[in-house]
Amino acid sequence: MDSRKELAEIAGQVAVCTHCQLHYSRKKAVPGEGPADAEVMLIGEGPGFYENEQGRPFVGAAGKFLDELLEKGGVKRAEVFITNVVKCRPPGNRDPLPEELAACSGYLDRQIEAINPRVIVTLGRFSMAKFLPNARISEVHGQPFWNRSRLVVPMYHPAAALHQPSLKVSVERDFARLTEFIQQARAAASRAAPQAPEEPAPEPPKEDKPTQLSLF
Ligand code: URA
Ligand code: SF4
């Protein structure tokens, strides 16, 4: 299916989803937003207060900080697809529960398939754990790794970094390398691409006269 249509279909399903208990307390589900052919996908944790009000990802204080981080990384927010591991707000911004993550993961998997990004930036522990279940974010943040021919870069969550100066320095340093990561993924993709096909063989010379079909 066309990737824009698939994303719209996912958003429609998320808006009315009742697969986990988070649907009871949500105001608006937050499917995510961005271009269907985005080269970079950012995956956060879950909607917060303002996201739940507006139905859009990263529009609160953490979102403002994320905008700054992207700008420092040389990437426009409008160019990236931004979503979360759970699409509905956990009450009081508590951590998402394992069963909520499991219930919601199919939507994220389908978004990744549809967009087919070259680079995935995970924001925070829960998003990292989708790709690296046993890693510690303090050990692996800013270190890209390959996952099914995509470059995945774990980063600290901007909301956590806002309130902890040491994490803020780390996340700023990691985001400053975003363009470098994108170029690394592009270079790998062009190496992996098949060689350009050879010139098509010339057409065989046509006969001067059309072959006459003798009916007799
Ligand atoms: N924090 C997140 O993880 N996601 C949002 O969309 C907003 C804040
Ligand atoms: Fe459905 Fe995900 Fe919302 Fe749970 S968090 S109700 S699985 S969309």
Q: Is residue 111 part of a domain?
A: yes
Which of 129, 140, 68 lies closest to 102 in space, CA to CA?
A: 129
Q: 204 vs 181, which has greater pLDDT?
A: 181
The end-to-end CA distance of the chain, in Å, is 54
Number of domains in the chain: 1
> Is the minimum distance from the CB of 55 to ligand 1 under 6 angstroms?
no
Q: How far is the CA of 169 from the centre of ligand 2 (A)?
A: 33
Domain boundaries, position 27: 3-187
Q: Is residue 66 part of a domain?
A: yes
> Is the minimum distance from the CB of 27 to ligand 2 under 6 angstroms?
no
Q: What is the pTM of this model?
A: 0.90
Q: Is residue 126 part of a domain?
A: yes
Q: 45, 53, 127: which to mutate for ligand 1, most atoms within 8 A of CB? A: 45
Residue closest by Cα to atom 7 of ligand 1: 58
Nearest bound ligand to the CA of residue 90: 2
Q: Is residue 176 part of a domain?
A: yes
The model's pLDDT over 141-173, given as tens digits with 9 standing for 90+, comes to 999 999 999 999 999 999 999 999 999 999 999
Q: Is residue 195 part of a domain?
A: no
Mean pLDDT of the chain, nearest integer: 93
Atom of ligand 2 lying closest to residue 103 CA? 7
Q: Is residue 30 part of a domain?
A: yes
Q: Is residue 145 part of a domain?
A: yes
The two structure tokens encoding residue 203: 């057409």
**167: CATH:** 3.40.470.10
Say what percent of the chain tops pLDDT 70: 90
Q: Is residue 194 part of a domain?
A: no
Q: 64 vs 196, which has greater pLDDT?
A: 64
